[in-house]
Amino acid sequence: MALVYDQSDLSISRVKGWRFGYKKALEHSLWGQQNSYMSYKKIVQAGAGGSIGAPVLKALVDSGQFDVTVLTRKSSNYKPPYNSITVVPVDYTNHAELVEALRGNDALVVTLGDFTSSERNHHALTDAAIKAGLKCIIPSTFASDLSNPPGSEEETFRPHLNNMAYIRSKQAEIGHIFITNGCFFEWGLKTGILGLDIPNAKCTIYGDGMRPFNATTYDSVGRTVVSVLSTPSTFLNKDIRVHDFWITQWDLKALFEEETGKTYTVEHVDPLKLKADCEAAIAQGELNHHTFMGVIAGVVFGKHTCSWGVSDDTPLVGLPAKDIKEELKKFLEAM
């Protein structure tokens, strides 16, 4: 089966009265002008130890452009991997504590992975960031495109959608940048969400497997965060989409077979039925790896929340083209 190429290169694609209103408008105007031309220098990252938090932190540190502070939960055993960062343990339910931890910084990047407390923590961090005088927040709304249908209409993502709506409602007080990157490439391979059972040379094809999806490596997600924080005048208060690859499940299967020399056996699964079955199980208290991943597979391959095509903000962000074969080799070598 032919691979899908981006035409641009040979890599796989990728009111409380008028006085109050006038005062707020003036403040917002001045605030906006201040933000428009300055690269952010002092960055706070909330949650730097997870599968997305770690590579984002690495990109921030490796860029050499920022003073980085990491917020951790007081109960965390997080050990900072870099001597250059400052680690501040916080209680996300303590507003005054959060304000003090954020004060003096320019921007906040949220990469917290706990879905169940996402809404509470994002609202708390947004309120604290405003009080502390930060200029911008990048919330943890990566992966599926939640700014456009069908993602913006998918109840699975209700906490994230509520976070985005809340942050937008505070735009007169703090800026935002929403980043969408499709499937996390390495995470999708490691967890099997992309349908590949690599050790057993098996492949689950959702539906007919012919609908391409967007996927992005951890490295490119990190580079995107660095880029938007370096040039906020370009990206402030915008929703951006980036990707490394625009590919089908069948194409991915063929690439793995070529790289490993193995023939993968195929099982076909209805992604919407899988999603419905897993949601029903979760409603009965069966929240586990299988049911959670089943819901995610259903929205990605049944609702196509990670499929928008090759025309997006990747060139504007300045991401270099990735060779998918090289990325697959690196992934297999690291297994």
Res 11: pLDDT: 40
How much is the pLDDT for 22? 36
Instruction: Name the nearest CA neighbour of 125 among 205, 45, 194, 64.
Output: 45
pLDDT for the residue 254: 98
Question: Residues 6 or more apart from 83 whose CB is under 8 A from it?
Answer: none
What is the pLDDT tens value at each position of the chain, 335 positions in all?
A: 333 333 333 344 443 333 333 344 334 434 443 444 578 999 999 999 889 999 999 999 999 999 999 999 998 888 889 999 999 999 999 999 999 999 999 999 999 977 778 899 999 999 999 999 999 999 999 999 999 999 999 999 999 999 999 999 999 999 999 999 999 999 999 999 999 999 999 999 999 999 999 999 999 999 999 999 999 999 999 999 999 999 999 999 999 999 999 999 999 999 999 999 999 999 999 999 899 999 999 999 999 999 999 999 999 999 999 999 999 999 999 98
Provide the CATH topology of domain 184-213+246-307+320-334.
Answer: UDP-galactose 4-epimerase; domain 1 (3.90.25)
Q: Which of 333, 317, 313 is nearest to 325 (CA)?
A: 333
User: What superfamily in CATH does domain 18-183+216-241 come from?
Assistant: NAD(P)-binding Rossmann-like Domain (3.40.50.720)
Contact (Cβ atoms closer than 8 angstroms) between residue 108 and residue 134: yes
d(CA 154, CA 164): 14
Domain ranges in the chain? 18-183+216-241, 184-213+246-307+320-334
Q: What pLDDT digit, counting tens, does each position of 164-187 carry? A: 999 999 999 999 999 999 999 999
d(CA 63, CA 31): 26
Taking every pair of Cα atoms in the chain, the longest distance, rounded to a whole number of angstroms, is 72
Burial per residue of 174-201, b for 16 or more beta-carbon CB atoms within 10 angstroms, e otherwise: bbbbbbbbbbbbbbbbbbbbbbbebeee
Please tell me the predicted confidence (pLDDT) of residue 55: 96
- Residue 90, helix vs strand vs coil: strand
DSSP 151: G
End-to-end CA distance of the chain: 27
pLDDT in tens, 92-110: 999 999 999 999 999 999 9
Q: 213 forms bridges with which residues in the sheet?
A: 247
- Which among 143, 146, 164 has a CA at the least distance from the CA of 155? 146
